[in-house]
Chains A and B, each alone.
Chain A
Amino acid sequence: MKNIRKLSSLILIVMLLLAVGCTQDTVESEEQVGGELILATTTSTENSGLLDYILPDFEEKTGVEIKVVAVGTGAALQKGMDGEADILLVHAKDREETFVAEGHGPKRYDVMYNDFVIIGPESDPAEVKGLNVVEALTKISEARAAFVSRGDDSGTHTKEISLWEASETAPEGDWYVEVGKGMGDTITMAEELEAYTISDRATYLSMKENLESIILVEDDEILFNQYGVIQVDPSKNDQINAEAAEAFVNWIISEEAQELIGTYEAYGEVLFNPNAK
């Protein structure tokens, strides 16, 4: 009996060793990058469900575990400058180009686009429905109709400021409310205040069923919303996973990932149009 026990435990140990050996082999045979990647991005890409749809493909292919931190574009770029993130997926092209020009990242690539819309109460007190953006904003400021601004240095906020500049009106006064919050909160506040605001189409659509606000201004060239990807300069600190970040850039501009983005539908509409070159 004792011998049998000894033998069986020996067999068990051998099997265990073999099993350990096998798993190590499989890990080595697949060329996986591995590690962890912090992606700083805007709330629109996460809240719309796009990232949940496309990221599993990347994680499967590379074995990299992605941590998504959804903040405004300004905050995301700041995280990049501080080396607190490995990769950025943001939407404020001019600021992204400045980011690269200042040496915080090697290169910026176009990834996809969608558009902004101006939403407001159905009663439309400033009568802007169907106008172009410049006319609409001029009328809102002339009527001193309530307008809620993100006021948080995000991509949408940057866009909004450039639109006011284009309409040559300075948004000042009681009617112009800067809330310093994310897109969802801003829309909710605009709804409560029966005010106008600017939103990316994806976030508006994702909240539409709980809203009475409607789209009043859309399909103006100036409302184009380009998203870009930038790898953070790996020399910022030794914890940046440069290999994974590079793999991410190559993946998101690859044909397969671009096709995934283009097939993502929510609320009955395609939310993002891929346009990587």
Chain B
Amino acid sequence: MDYIIEGIIGAFKLILSLDKEIYSIVLLSIYVSFASTVISSIVGVPLGLFTGIKEFKGKRLLSKIYFTFMGLPPVVVGLVTVLIISRSGPLGSVRLIYTPTAMIIAQSLLVTPIVTGIIFTNSKDIGLEIINICKTLGANKRHTFFKLIKELKTLILVATVTGFGRAISEVGAVMIVGGNIKGHTRVMTTFIAMSNSMGNYDTSIAMGIILLTISFVANSFLYNRTMGDSNGYKIKKY
């Protein structure tokens, strides 16, 4: 029992000590996950909206594919990414392995289906309604698209924050493509996994607390935004 209490005390000491290494790890984590969430949203939001609202042949198959990819295990994503970007892989000459860029690529592959899937499942009814209203008001395609984004901003926010949560908490993909290199690619989750295997419970707990805090802040932000939304429709995460 003692080591748990000692660990928690040590954790707070570490957080308050403003240790440079710890904070650069935190910043890198946020940077990598934020970048991959942005990329995923740029791809996932239009894709989810388009395939979600439009009726076409094979839509059911597509939704099955989306759901499968939403549950991709991070280690599999890591493995696929590493096969492509390793020195002897097809993109080997770009020299991406063990870099933050590689981690962003892997996390984007992981998060894009999640963003797409959430938008896809939730945009159909409300989306059609908005489009019909826009049509009656005589808006062109571009205007309709931006109106859609504007009306569905809560949904898009939910999708992005969920995606960010997934990115920042996964360890499998970044461990494989990043290699947990000190000062280069060490992020919060790989740091926790490593300290844990070395028996340094206080640093593990400290990083765990920081990670939870970031999740909490992101979700509080989401909560505040969605509370103020008057659309009144319910969003399913899946």
Mark A residues whose CB is within 8 Å of B.
38, 46-47, 52, 67-70, 82-84, 181-182, 184-185, 187-188, 206-207, 210-211, 237-239
Find out whether the CB atom of A68 lies under 8 angstroms from the CB atom of B87: no
Cα-based distance from A188 to B193 in the complex (angstroms): 13
Main secondary structure of the interface of A (DSSP, over half): mixed
Main secondary structure of the interface of B (DSSP, over half): loop
Find out whether the CB atom of A83 lies under 8 angstroms from the CB atom of B197: no
Q: List 8 A-B contacts (CB under 8 A).
A: A69-B181, A83-B87, A84-B86, A84-B88, A210-B201, A211-B199, A237-B92, A239-B92
Find out whether the CB atom of A237 lies under 8 angstroms from the CB atom of B87: yes
- A38-B98, A46-B182, A184-B198 known, 12 other contacts, Cβ within 8 Å: A67-B98, A68-B181, A82-B87, A82-B88, A84-B86, A181-B197, A184-B197, A188-B199, A210-B199, A237-B87, A239-B87, A239-B92
Cα-based distance from A38 to B95 in the complex (angstroms): 12
Cα-based distance from A22 to B88 in the complex (angstroms): 39
Find out whether the CB atom of B3 lies under 8 angstroms from the CB atom of A210: yes
Find out whether the CB atom of A67 lies under 8 angstroms from the CB atom of B199: no
Chain B contact patch, size range: 10 to 19
Distance in Å from the Cβ of A48 to the closest Cβ of chain B?
Answer: 10
**Among A52, A184, A207, A239, contact of B95 (Cβ-Cβ < 8 Å):** A239
Interface residues of B in 161-216 (CB under 8 A from A): 179-182, 184, 197-199, 201
Distance in Å from the Cβ of A82 to the closest Cβ of chain B?
Answer: 6
Judge if B93 is at the interface, Cβ distance under 8 Å.
Answer: yes
By a CB distance below 8 angstroms, the chain A residues around B92 are 237, 239
Closest B residue to A238 by CB, please name it.
B93
By a CB distance below 8 angstroms, the chain B residues around A211 are 199
Cα-based distance from A181 to B182 in the complex (angstroms): 20
Closest B residue to A183 by CB, please name it.
B197
Cα-based distance from A211 to B199 in the complex (angstroms): 9
